[in-house]
Structure 1
Amino acid sequence: MSLVFGQYSTTDEVLDGIDLSGKRILVTGVSAGLGVETARVLVAHGADVVGAARDLDKARRATRQVVPGAQGGSLELVELDLASFASVRACADALNTDGRPFDIIICNAGVMACPLGKTADGFETQFGTNHLGHFLLVNRIAGLLKDGGRLVTLSSAGHRFSDVDLDDPNFDHTAYEPFIAYGRSKTANILFAVEFDRRHRDRGVRATAVHPGGIQTELARHMSEADMAALVENVQKVNEAAGRPPFAFKSIPQGAATSVWAAIVADAEAVGGHYCEDCHVAEVTTDGDAFSISGGVRPYAFDPIKAEALWLASEEMVGERF
């Protein structure tokens, strides 16, 4: 009988008893937080992990805790700056030249609530990094993803802050708000998973988006203590009004649990084309405030017409067809 995991399950609990020897897995963002924990638990269970990071020196220091388990396992680091198409293409080219296939790709890296800025290619930082960088990378190496493999994109309950805006993705005509930009990028992560799943499911490849939960990591480095306190206060007010328990941050192993659950443990048919939170498939709902940390996914993040439109617009933005 399958075990049921939930909000406070950890990565070690989710993968208890699972042997990943022989599995090759790509994880982006392995220089801190959830990426390091994801790599740690996968390698500990025997997987050969390729960890991508912008700053390799930082990643080497952060991943000293990543060691093989009884089943073996290994970690290889590759350079990847998702805010630079040149870097993304160089990384993808190196992986394609190497030629070894992947069983799973976990798009973990990202930025949140940063000041208005642009990527090396002129796109708003959060949309360009969180969505376009991963869109280009994954599509360039899609041929390495084995039949029956999985793609996991890390989204967020923050997708509730905003739908994508394909008419003004760079805030050229809209006042910039850090969390609106974050919401757009996180909605894009879901729509990308929906469309990638549609395009690749015929060969057994399934894609899913996940919300890890509220965790204190470097993701919030652009927020002051006062900003974070105000955000938590808003969340608490929403929970109190809805009769839900008070919000509490997850630990990093709890936060990374949904990623590894969706990638390895969950039934592929159940999670393919869906959005998961707390180690289960979330319901599509219009209920709840933008400050609800969990509790479902917005319908606009699952609009198949919008998912295809985002894909086509993203191809135009990166200058490649897939």
Structure 2
Amino acid sequence: MSKTFGHDSTTDEVLEGVDLTGKRVLVTGVSAGLGVETARVLAAHGAQVTGAARDLNKAKAATAGIPGLELIELDLASLASARAAADRLVAAGKPFDLVIANAGVMATPFGKTVDGFETQFGTNHLGHFVFVNRIASLFAPGSRLVNLSSAGHRFSDIDLDDPNFDRTPYAEFIAYGRSKTANVLFAVEFDRRNRDRGVRATAVHPGGIQTELGRYMTEEVRQQMLTAATQATPAGGAPAFRWKTIPQGASTSVWAGVVAPAEAVGGRYCEDCHVAEVVDDDSLRGGVRPYAIDAERAKALWARSEEMVGEVF
């Protein structure tokens, strides 16, 4: 009988007894937090891990204890960097069994990427959209893509008419919500396009974790978020909100990427090591909003993203 995991499960518990020898894995954002822990536990179970990071010196220091880790430079706020990193991997020709799109930014002040996109949408979604699609040929049969999303997708649906806030007043968490919804929709459409060749995609919410991701948040904003999460009624009778450790936060990524049945997680959104329920209720904590897994919305985002980056996949 398969084991049951939940909110408190750690990466080591989820992968207990799992042998990943011979498997090749790519993890983005391996310079801190969840990315480092994800790379660590996968390598500890025998996987050959390639880690991508914007700051290679920082990543080298953070991953110094991970045996056999290969590092590549990837700045998701630059399409040129995303394309160059992908092209190097394609030229090497080594397939991957799992790609975890972990890197991202959160609640940044208003800004633009070097390509002119709003910072959070450009980094969290468009950078990964180009990078992942350019290495799609390297996904081996039976492989998976895991996109790191967030409960923050509940803050906002995507805005296909004004993705860069050219006409909309900028709000840090609305922009974050748009980008995290885009992460789910990208997984939904990537899964639809690739499942016939045995490649599946899913999106995950790691949980509330205090990492470098929140470095732009003031203490006031942090407390407001904590209060809102604490006061929300837990969906499905779950316990009240509590912070996760980094090993607990990274557990859903490795669960969805390695342990869960592919057909169960493909095209879905996962949290606390299970497939989330569809919830359209502001008073409930947990679950995924219907707009984030809407197949037609996913197709529309894909088309708009291709238009924005000037590349068809």
2:112 equivalent to 1:118: yes
5+ residue gaps in structure 2? none
TM normalised by structure 2 equals: 0.97
| Distance across 2 between alignment mates of 1:35 and 1:123 | 24
Residue type matched to 1:96 in 2?
Answer: V
Residue type matched to 1:95 in 2?
Answer: L
Matched-pair contact (CA < 8 Å) for 2:28–2:103: yes
| Distance across 1 between alignment mates of 2:236 and 2:133 | 41
| Distance across 1 between alignment mates of 2:16 and 2:227 | 36
Residue type matched to 1:301 in 2?
Answer: A
2:187 equivalent to 1:187: no
Q: Name 1:71's counterpart in structure 2.
A: none
User: 1:122, CA displacement in angstroms?
Assistant: 0.2
2:244 equivalent to 1:250: yes
Matched-pair contact (CA < 8 Å) for 1:102–1:146: yes
2:3 equivalent to 1:6: no
Residue type matched to 1:20 in 2?
Answer: L
Find 2:300's aligned residue among 275, 286, 309. Answer: 309
Residue type matched to 1:212 in 2?
Answer: P
| Distance across 1 between alignment mates of 2:244 and 2:306 | 36
Kindly tell me: are residues 298 and 75 of structure 1, through their superposed partners in 2, closer, same or farther at Cα, counting changes over 3 Å? same
Q: What are the equivalent positions in structure 2 for 1:1-322 lying under 5 Å apart?
A: 1-67=1-67, 74-239=68-233, 245-289=239-283, 294-322=285-313
Residue type matched to 1:112 in 2?
Answer: M
User: 1:242, CA displacement in angstroms?
Assistant: 10
Residue type matched to 1:83 in 2?
Answer: A
SS class of match (1:65): coil
User: 1:64, CA displacement in angstroms?
Assistant: 1.8
| Distance across 2 between alignment mates of 1:311 and 1:126 | 17
Partner deviation per Cα, 1:226-277 (whole Å, 9 max, x = no partner)? 2212211222222489986432100000000000000000000000000000
| Distance across 1 between alignment mates of 2:217 and 2:300 | 32
Residue type matched to 2:197 in 1?
Answer: R
Residue type matched to 1:85 in 2?
Answer: L
| Distance across 2 between alignment mates of 1:19 and 1:229 | 41
SS class of match (2:232): helix
SS class of match (1:20): coil
Partner deviation per Cα, 1:62-110 (whole Å, 9 max, x = no partner)? 112323xxxxxx2100000000001001100110111101011000000
Q: Name 1:70's counterpart in structure 2.
A: none
| Distance across 2 between alignment mates of 1:84 and 1:136 | 10
| Distance across 2 between alignment mates of 1:141 and 1:102 | 9
| Distance across 2 between alignment mates of 1:101 and 1:154 | 21
| Distance across 1 between alignment mates of 2:234 and 2:222 | 18
SS class of match (2:22): coil
Matched-pair contact (CA < 8 Å) for 1:239–1:247: no
| Distance across 1 between alignment mates of 2:232 and 2:270 | 21
Matched-pair contact (CA < 8 Å) for 1:239–1:245: no
| Distance across 2 between alignment mates of 1:210 and 1:243 | 20
SS class of match (1:167): coil
| Distance across 2 between alignment mates of 1:26 and 1:241 | 33
SS class of match (1:21): coil
Matched-pair contact (CA < 8 Å) for 1:11–1:41: yes
Matched-pair contact (CA < 8 Å) for 1:53–1:80: yes
5+ residue gaps in structure 1? 68-73
Matched-pair contact (CA < 8 Å) for 2:235–2:287: no
| Distance across 1 between alignment mates of 2:142 and 2:42 | 18
Residue type matched to 2:187 in 1?
Answer: A
| Percent identity of equivalent pairs | 71
Matched-pair contact (CA < 8 Å) for 2:234–2:286: no
| Distance across 2 between alignment mates of 1:3 and 1:244 | 19
